[in-house]
Amino acid sequence: MGLGPYGIARVDAALGRGGKVMMVPNSAPGDLAEIELVREHRGYCVGRLGEILSPGPARRAAPCPYLPRCGGCDWQQIDYPAQVRIKAELIAHELNRALDTAIDPRGLLLPAGNEFNYRSRLRLRVSPNLRLGFNELGSSRVVEIERCMVGLSELSIPHFLPAALGRGCKEVELVGDRAGLIAVANLKREPDRRVIDRTRQALRADGSLRGLIIRAGDWRLKLGEVLTSIEVEPGLELKLDADLFTQANPGQNRSLVACVMERAALVGGTRVLELFCGAGNFSLPAARRGADVTAFDSDPLAISAADANARRLGLNDRLRFSAIAASDTAQFLLRAGYRAQLLLLDPPRVGAAELMPSIVKLKPLRVIYVSCNVATLARDLKALRACGYQLNFVRAFDFFPNTHHAEVVAEAVLT
C-alpha cells in the first residue's frame, strides 16, 4: 500500500510500459488479481481491480455494504491489525527517507479503541436526488447511504434536510455528542425566506436534529441548539458551535492531547506559542498546567470560541488568543520581540512550509508539530533540521480506522 487509497503494483516491462507503477484502489497487500488499465500517465498508471485470483493474507470482505463503490473508507478491505502495521511502516518509511533517521515502526502507531462507530463528525455530499452520501473514489458521483459504519451510532442520516433546503445545498456535515445530533448545511448561495421557513418546518416535523447551522460563504444562520461539547482531557470540556473544527475521533483526540502535554512537560510560566490553534484543543490544556500561552488562528469564529472557553474555565489570565493568518503571525511576533520556549503547531494538510523561515528566526527551544499528512510533516521537519533542530520524538495515532489517514506528533529540539 502507499500513503493514500491505492495499492501499489508494478507493470511488467515486458508489457511495453517500462515497469511503471500501477495504482489500484480496493486492493490489499499480497493480492494476485486481474487489473484493468484505466488511465496512463507519464510516470504511473491507474488500474481497476478485477477478479482476485489469490487474496493477500490481510484481505477481508469489507463489512460495509456500500463498498467498494463508496469512497469514504479506502482500506476497509484490509483487516484491522494489518492496517495498523501498514500505516506505521509507511509513516516510518516516509520520515526515515526524508530525514535520514531510523524510526522503528513497531509500536509507532496507537491503534484506535474502536474500528467502527468512532467518528463524531461526518461530511456528506448531496446527490442529484437530494439524498446524502459519499463520493465514489476519484469521482463526483454520490453513493447514497442510509448509515455509516465508522460514524457514531447516533449519527442517523437526515435525508429530509437537502430536500428542504433545495438544490442549492451541496454538502451536509453531521456532528454528534452526548446531547444529540447537529447538522451543518453548506449552500451555494444565501437562501431566501421561503427556503428558511420550509427548513424550520422540516426540522420540527422530523425531530432527529437538535440544531442546524446553514452557511453560504460568509453568511451564517443558526436554528435550534447548535452548541456541541468535546472533552479534550478529563475535567476539561470545550463548548463550541458545531460548524467549528474539532477532531472527528474524540477518544483518540484525548490520547493525542495527553501525548502532546506529556512531551510539552510544562511548568508554571513556560512561554508557549501555538499556531493554527483552532478553538483551543491544545492551548487550554497547556494553560491549565500553568503555561503562558499566546495562540493564533485565522478563523475569528474559532478564536471567539476559544476565548469564551478560556473565560468559562477561568484560564483567560494565562491565554491570549488572536485571529491572525498564520503567514502573518511569525513576522508580527518577530517585530514585537516575542520569544517562545515551546512552539505548538497543528496545520492543515498542506503543512506549514511558508512559516518555516520565520519559525526558525523565532528560535523556540522546542517545536511540537501535530500533522494529519506525514508527507508535508516530513518536508517541514527537514527544513527545521537544516536550521539546527533535531528530531527527538515521533508518535502516531490511528484517528481514522479503515482509511489511510493518521495523525502524527513530532518533537524537534534546537541543538
Kind and range of the H or E element at 362?
helix 356-362
Among 45, 148, 169, 372, the one annotated catalytic: 372
**Cα 27 from Cα 78, distance rounded (Å):** 8
Please, is 18 exposed, middle or buried when counting C-beta atoms within 10 Å of its C-beta (0-12, 13-18, 19+)? exposed
Is position 372 annotated as part of the catalytic site?
yes
**Alpha-helical segments (H) within 130-213:** 160-165, 193-206
For residue 380, give every residue at least 6 positions away whose Cβ sits within 8 Å of its Cβ, in sequence order, or none. 351, 352, 353, 356, 369
Cα-based distances in Å from 356 to 98, 263, 331, 343: 16, 21, 11, 12
Structure-derived torsion over alpha carbons of residues 365, 291, 247, 366, reported in degrees to the nearest 10? 10
Residue 176, φ and ψ in degrees, nearest 5: -120, 145
3-state secondary structure of 103: coil
Work out whether strand 227-233 and strand 32-40 pair parallel, antiparallel, or are unpaired.
unpaired
Kind and range of the H or E element at 357?
helix 356-362
**Cα 247 from Cα 399, distance rounded (Å):** 9
For residue 386, give every residue at least 6 positions away whose Cβ sits within 8 Å of its Cβ, in sequence order, or none. none
Q: Cite the active site residues.
A: 372
